[in-house]
Homo-oligomer: A and B are copies of this chain.
Amino acid sequence: MNATERNFLENTDLFTGLPENALADAANCAKCRKLGGRQILFHQGDPAEHIFLLRAGRLKLVQYNESGDEVIIRYIGPNEFTAMVSVLENAVYPVTAEVIQSGEALFWDRNTMRRLMRDYPGIAVHALEMVLKQLGEIQERFKEVSTEIVEKRIARTLARFIRHSGIKTAEGILIDIPMSRKDLADFTGTTFYTVSRVMSSWERSQWIRTENRKILVLNPHALISFAEDFA
C-alpha cells in the first residue's frame, strides 16, 4: 500500500511510534472494505477472523440476550480499532457490529495480526493498552448501571459523548453520533420510554435539543454538573 496509508496507520493507537518497516509491513497486509448504510460488519457468535480499523464512518457494537433485548457495548468512530478479540484462537465475535454512518475500514486477518505482533512487539503492547482502556470504560459503566438511577446514567452518558465526540457550535455542543432514544436506552440499560421522558424534561429546561437523532447540548454546564453531582 502507499504512503498515505502508512501515514494513516502511524496516527492510530495500535501502530503509533513503530519503526518504518513495521508500518510498511502492516500497511501491506491490510485489506480495505467499504461500509454502507445499515450493513452488519460482523455478527455476534460468528467465528472472529478479522481485526478492523475504521477509516471513516461509525459503528455500533451491540449484544443481544436470549430474549432479544439489545445492549450497546460501544461506539466505534474514525481511527478506532475493533474486534481485537480476533487475535484469540477460536474466538467468536462477542458483539454484532452495525454500520450507522457509511465509511470504510481496513482489516487484517487473525494470523496476520498475530504475526505482526510477534515481529513488532510494540503492536501487542499497544493492543494491550487499547483493550485495557476499553476494560476501564466498561467497568465504569458497569458500576454506573449497578448503582446510579436512570436519569443520572443518561446524563453521564451524554457527558461522556460530549468529551469524546462533541463539536462546538454557536448554539452549544453537538454530539456527532446519530442516536435514537432506543439507542440511548440500549446504551444505558433502560427503555426508550424512560429515555424519552428524561430527554423531554431536559428539553423543557433548555438543556438539550434533538434534531434528527443528533443531540445538541445547549447547556453543557447544567448537564455535566447534574451528571457529576453526588447527592
Interface residues of A, count at CB 8 A: 45
Asked whether A67 lies within 8 Å of B147 as measured between CB atoms, the reply is: yes
Closest to A185 in B: B146
List 17 extra interface pairs beyond A73-B142, A142-B145, A147-B189, CB under 8 A. Answer: A63-B140, A65-B144, A71-B142, A71-B146, A87-B128, A94-B139, A117-B128, A121-B124, A124-B125, A124-B127, A124-B128, A131-B131, A138-B139, A141-B142, A145-B146, A146-B188, A146-B189
Given the complex of chains A and B, what is the CA–CA distance between A141 and B69 in angstroms?
A: 14
Whether A59 is near chain B, meaning CB under 8 Å from some CB there, is no
Asked whether A139 lies within 8 Å of B95 as measured between CB atoms, the reply is: yes
Closest to A124 in B: B124
Residues of A within 8 A of B (CB): 63, 65-67, 69, 71, 73, 84-85, 87-88, 91, 94-95, 114, 117-118, 121-122, 124-125, 127-129, 131-136, 138-148, 188-189, 228, 230
